[in-house]
């Protein structure tokens, strides 16, 4: 295992990948949720995790976000271990939980300011957040009055306005209608392209994953069962779309 300093220096000097997960194992009681998940994500890359319910997607993302600690294995984000340097990791990431709620008594603008404040970023990014959210006058209303879709948009805006080095998005378009989902996907792509940030995203929506992701990993039963570019995976499994790939992989599993 690398030491803390050696790893940080190695990452900086050798240009290691922003996200390197290696042999992640996680158990809850007698249930083995992750059984050795490994993957790497490049800079500016959008990496998708796909799998059925209970496959281990959210647990993997929670480990990357330092909310959960792996029982074995490690993930290194921007040269920092989620096991040993969670505080450093948190300075480099922004995490959108799958069913993230809102502070009901804060207005949208107050929430964006709060997020900007705790991340220590320029308050001007709040304007960008407001623009990404596209909620207009509703930004001045308490978030308790927001619909599910509006809440999701303000949460995504709060993540993207920070321009984090690594954005971890669990089901980013869940609860959004088609028009807003398209808008959000476009913003995520723009974020990766323009800011050079790395994005890890999980979704059930194969179309979304196909549109968004440069590379994807199918996860099932706590293991990655296939990984590659969407086109490569489709070709390898002789499928017309990722849904077919998914069905074949699940059938094989």
Shortest gap between Cβ of 104 and other proteins (angstroms)?
Answer: 7
Does residue number 225 form part of the binding site for other proteins (CB under 8 A)? no
Does residue number 69 form part of the binding site for other proteins (CB under 8 A)? yes
First to last CA, the chain: 32
Does residue number 42 form part of the binding site for other proteins (CB under 8 A)? no
Does residue number 101 form part of the binding site for other proteins (CB under 8 A)? yes
Shortest gap between Cβ of 226 and other proteins (angstroms)?
Answer: 28
The answer to whether residues 121 and 58 touch, using CB atoms and an 8 Å cutoff, is no
Residue 190 tokens read as 């723009």
Does residue number 99 form part of the binding site for other proteins (CB under 8 A)? yes
Does residue number 102 form part of the binding site for other proteins (CB under 8 A)? yes
Does residue number 90 form part of the binding site for other proteins (CB under 8 A)? yes
The answer to whether residues 204 and 97 touch, using CB atoms and an 8 Å cutoff, is no
Distances (CA, A) of 249 to 51, 227, 234: 10, 11, 11
Cβ closest to other proteins, residue 65 vs residue 245: 65
Does residue number 28 form part of the binding site for other proteins (CB under 8 A)? yes
Residue 153 tokens read as 């948009």
The SS3 call for residue 219 is: strand
Q: Which of 1, 14, 118, 178 binds other proteins (CB under 8 A)?
A: 118
Does residue number 97 form part of the binding site for other proteins (CB under 8 A)? yes
Does residue number 123 form part of the binding site for other proteins (CB under 8 A)? no
How would DSSP label each residue in 127-165?
A: HHHHHHHT-GGGGGSBGGG--HHHHHHHHHHHHHTT--S
Positive or negative: CA dihedral 230, 233, 238, 243: negative
Residue 43 tokens read as 């800079």
Does residue number 103 form part of the binding site for other proteins (CB under 8 A)? yes
Q: Which stretch binds other proteins (CB under 8 A): 33-41, 92-100, 179-187, 212-220?
A: 92-100
d(CA 115, CA 21): 27
Does residue number 67 form part of the binding site for other proteins (CB under 8 A)? yes
Q: Which residues would be at the binding site for other proteins (CB under 8 A)?
A: 28, 62, 65-69, 87, 90-91, 93-95, 97, 99-104, 115, 118-120, 155
């Amino acid at each position: 295992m690398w030491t803390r300093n050696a790893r940080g220096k190695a990452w900086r000097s050798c240009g290691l990948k922003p996200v390197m997960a290696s042999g992640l194992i996680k158990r809850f009681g007698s249930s083995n949720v992750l059984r050795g998940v490994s993957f790497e994500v490049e800079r500016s890359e959008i990496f998708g995790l796909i799998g059925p319910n209970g496959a281990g997607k959210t647990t993997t993302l929670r480990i990357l976000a330092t909310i959960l600690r792996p029982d074995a294995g490690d993930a290194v984000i921007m040269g920092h271990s989620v096991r040993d340097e969670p505080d450093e990791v948190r300075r480099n990431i922004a995490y959108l939980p799958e069913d993230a709620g809102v502070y009901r008594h804060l207005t949208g603008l107050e929430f964006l300011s709060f997020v900007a404040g705790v991340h220590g970023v320029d308050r001007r990014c709040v304007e960008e957040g407001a623009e990404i959210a596209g909620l207009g006058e509703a930004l001045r209303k308490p978030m308790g009055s927001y619909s599910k879709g509006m809440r999701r948009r303000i949460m995504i805006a709060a993540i993207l306005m920070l321009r984090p080095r690594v954005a971890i998005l669990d089901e980013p378009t869940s609860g959004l209608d088609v028009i807003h989902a398209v808008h959000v996907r476009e913003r995520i792509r723009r974020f990766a392209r323009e800011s050079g940030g790395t994005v890890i995203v999980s979704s059930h929506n194969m179309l979304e994953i196909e549109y968004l992701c440069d590379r994807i990993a199918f996860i099932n039963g706590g293991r990655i069962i296939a990984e590659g570019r969407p086109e490569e995976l489709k070709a390898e499994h002789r499928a017309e779309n990722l849904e077919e790939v998914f069905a074949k992989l699940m059938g094989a599993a």
